[in-house]
Structure 1
Amino acid sequence: MIKTIIFDFGDVFINLDKTATIRELSLLGKTSNFNEIETVNNQYEIGAITTPDFIRFYQGLYPKASEKQIINAWNAILLDFPKHRLEFIQNLAKNHEYKLILLSNTNELHINWIKENITFYNDFKSCFDAFYLSHQIQLRKPESDIFEFVLQQHKIQPHETLFIDDTKENTNGASRLGIHTWNNDPRQEDITNLFTIKSDLF
């Protein structure tokens, strides 16, 4: 029986355009430093580098770009947050039937954008028993230590836990610890259909 549900944020609640940042950056110039970009992006997601240092890195790659252009390109991935998904998690929270946890790979710039543009962000956050952002806990999916951290922090059992994420490598990471998973396809599936799609677990 599932007692705890762990949710991803992007493409589970807020819609993303995962190609947007690369597309917007390409308008600012050309670079072939892709390995370094991935390394720096991952460091930023675990809070290992500051936002000013992160922006300076990208300005080094795109010297003609302003700070605002870099930030806008970085945040271009973020789209809308459909209200029906907020209502879904609010109703779930009211029932007090499950422990609800959010576990997101994210960063300071993205969260700042969300706080400024998603008017009900605080209402959304208040639905969860715990709200973990990778840059704040210095851990990121799909590494096993982030899932172990959540399990230990809340004294929950893997076989009583469901983890929902749109990225296959993340759900694979959770599965290796015995956690039930739903690798949702945001093009065809919606979190509001959770109890229909994963009815075998409830």
Structure 2
Amino acid sequence: MIKNIIFDVGMVLVNWDPHAAFQKLGFDEKTEEAVGNATVYSDAWNESDRSVLDSDEQLAVFVQNAPDYEKEICMFWDNVGMAIYQYEYSRAWIQELKKKGYHVYILSNYGKWTYEHTTEALSFLEDVDGQVFSFEVHQIKPEPEIYQTLLEKFKLTADECVFLDDRRENVEAAEARGIHTVLFTTYQEALEKLKTYGVV
């Protein structure tokens, strides 16, 4: 019996659209490609989710990837919140699940700097029972440790949980820990998939 619903954040509860941020900052195509490859499309971005480095150290790594674009990389870093907004359904969905008696948790790869600059987009955190963000524990999905951290922190039984994430590798890692899963594509499809676990 499912008692706990665990949500990923990016592309499930909030939109993550770096291209929109680059456009708002006025970057031309060449600049967008250079800044993107130095930041969000680099391995360094995944490590920024782990947040072992502080924000200045992390920014220095990005700049090192494209020194000629230091100014633009700094602009994006300072305005990363432009890339994220909450979906219209997100908060109401969580509140509805809570009303039905489910416990709701967050398990997300999310950098500390990004978290601090997107509090409005994360307003649904007021409604959840708990969260594990990668920056808090210096672990990232799909590493098995982060799933175990969530289960242990909130004393959850894996078989009583269903986890929604848009990335197949993250879903498969959760399944390996005995957690039920939904590979998220759209809100409506997720509702249908949750019904197969008796979540209505």
Please, what TM-score do these two structures have when normalized by structure 2? 0.80
Cα distance, 1:102 vs structure 2: 0.3
1:198 is matched with: 194
Find the aligned partners of 1:33 and 1:125 in 2 and give their Cα distance.
30
Distance 1:57 1:26, change over 3 A: farther
Distance 1:22 1:172, change over 3 A: farther
Contact 2:167 2:183 in 1 (8 A): yes
Summarize the alignment of residues 121-200 of structure 1 with structure 2, pairs less than 5 Å apart: 121-122=122-123, 124-185=124-185, 189-190=186-187, 194-200=190-196
- Please list every run of at least 4 consecutive aligned residues from structure 1 whose deviation after the TM superposition is greater than 3 angstroms: 18-26, 28-34, 72-76, 192-195
Ranges in structure 2 where 5+ consecutive residues have no aligned partner: none
What letter is aligned with 2:196?
A: D
Contact 2:184 2:190 in 1 (8 A): no
Please, what TM-score do these two structures have when normalized by structure 1? 0.79
SS at match of 1:201: coil
C-alpha distance after superposition, 1:122-165 (max 9, x if no partner): 4x112111121100111111111111111122222221110100
Summarize the alignment of residues 1-16 of structure 1 with structure 2, pairs less than 5 Å apart: 1-16=1-16
1:104 is matched with: 108
From 34, 42, 45, give the equivalent of 1:41. Answer: 45
SS at match of 1:6: strand
Bigger drift between 45-54 and 57-66 goes to 57-66
Ranges in structure 1 where 5+ consecutive residues have no aligned partner: none
Distance 1:22 1:48, change over 3 A: farther
Distance 1:171 1:27, change over 3 A: same
Contact 1:75 1:109 in 2 (8 A): no
C-alpha distance after superposition, 1:61-116 (max 9, x if no partner): 3323226324168556x343123221111222233x1121101101022212312x
1:84 is matched with: 89
Contact 1:46 1:138 in 2 (8 A): yes
Find the aligned partners of 1:197 and 1:145 in 2 and give their Cα distance.
26
